[in-house]
Amino acid sequence: MESSSLKLGKVTYAPSPYPYLVLAMQRDGLPVNSGVRLPKGTVIDLIIGDGGARGDMTMGNLVNETYERALLKLKGWRLNLGTVSVVEGQDTTGREAFVVRQNPVAGDSVRTSSPIDLWIAPAGYKIPKE
């Protein structure tokens, strides 16, 4: 992609017997067909094969990780990013964001390629006691 001056967007895993095979490319949620010329700097989302890893796994802990580190862990675990929510009343603009909640929670059984929802807040945010 770098040689084509394209930028990597979201990476999503999908069922495939071939690990890391690019199954599809998308631009703004629409398929990009082979041979189509795109402007330099275009952001391309990839759908990657999960290698047939369809088994269950135990969900790891992402709470207290930076948002960027959490994304790397999800990729390594072959899980997909679900919904990302900023904690109400918090602003992460221009600030490093941390994961303060996740669903499914650490220890739950999840299937590979499952979406994982994250709640993020800026450094120093304390979860209110109930």
pLDDT at site 1: 65
The confidence score (pLDDT) of residue 97 equals 95
Chunked mean pLDDT (size 10), the chain, 130 residues: 79 84 92 88 90 80 96 91 94 91 95 92 83
Give the domain range for residue 43.
2-50
**Beta carbons of 39 and 5 less than 8 angstroms apart:** no
The CA–CA distances, whole Å, from 124 to 22, 110, 117 equal 39, 30, 21
> Do 20 and 76 sit in the same domain of this protein?
no
Q: Which helix (H) or strand (E) holds 70?
A: helix 67-76
* Cβ atoms of residues 97 and 63 within 8 Å: no
The total number of structural domains that make up the chain: 2
- Residue 10 sits in the same domain as residue 35: yes
Q: What is the CATH number of the domain that holds 74?
A: 3.30.10.20
| C-alpha dihedral sign at 10, 13, 18, 20 | positive
Give a yes or no: residue 129 inside a domain: no
Determine the pLDDT at residue 52: 72
pLDDT at 56: 82
pLDDT of residue 57: 87
Q: How confident is the model at residue 126, as a pLDDT? A: 82
